[in-house]
Amino acid sequence: MSAILLEGLKTGITIEEDGIKFYSNAAEKTQDPAGKRTLEFLAKEEKRHKEFLESLLKSVEDKENPEKIIEKHIGKPKIFPKEEEFSEKIKAGRQDKEILEEAKKVEERSINYYAGLSNKVGEKEKKIFEILVGEERKHKEWIEYMEEALEIHGYWQGVEKYFELEG
């Protein structure tokens, strides 16, 4: 495996750690329960990505084939949070909008980082970075949905509503 892959995975782990902190801190700042759950969900997603990258890095360092880890990641069922109770809707503040604006920028930078790396490695290694690009694009899509909901409704719809609409 290439040095680019190794450095990309190590940097990716750091990016995901920063994402965990970012979304956890953002969850503490929002007053809306749906917003809080949504940001906590995104922090868990970042943690899941970090664990995936750590598994891949170990596999590569041990000179094992990372295909099993990739298959496990792709085949892993996604369990999304369910809204267990409808809570009072709280009008979104400027801070909530700023959180989502920054979150979108973070996801865009992650997409660009992983996409750039995928162009620098061979086909086998490229698959790893393409998976990560896809994951980050999903996050960006969720964030864009929430931004739109805040703009239209004035309060958080939450990621649960997104998955409900997605079917």
pLDDT one-digit tens code per residue, 66-78: 666 666 555 543 4
Mean pLDDT of 94-119: 90
Residue 131 and residue 93: Cα distance in Å, rounded?
A: 34
Sign of the CA dihedral running 24, 28, 31, 37: positive
Specify whether the CB–CB gap between 36 and 29 falls below 8 A. Answer: no
Range name among 26-30, 110-114, 161-165 with the lowest pLDDT average: 161-165
If phi over 0 gives left and psi between -120 and 50 gives alpha, with beta otherwise, what is residue 72? alpha
Residue pair 121/4 in contact (Cβ under 8 Å)? The answer is yes
Q: For all residues of the chain together, what is the average pLDDT?
A: 81
pLDDT in tens, 143-156: 998 888 888 888 77
How many independent structural domains does the chain possess?
1
Give the CATH number, domain containing residue 125: 1.20.1260.10
Of the pLDDT bands very low, low, confident and very high (cuts 50, 70, 90), residue 4 is confident
Q: Is the pLDDT of residue 94 over 60?
A: yes
pLDDT per residue as tens digits for the range 12-69: 999 999 999 999 999 998 888 888 888 999 999 999 999 999 988 888 887 776 666 6
pLDDT at 82 over 80: no
Name the CA dihedral angle for 129, 75, 108, 130, rounded to a multiple of 10 degrees: 20
79 vs 104: CA distance, rounded Å: 23
Give the residue with greater pLDDT, 92 vs 6.
6
pLDDT band of 93, cuts 50, 70, 90: low
**Nearest by Cα to 5 from 58, 57, 67:** 57
Q: Supply the range of the domain harboring residue 31.
A: 3-166
Q: What three-state secondary structure class fits 7? A: helix
- 66: helix, strand or coil: coil
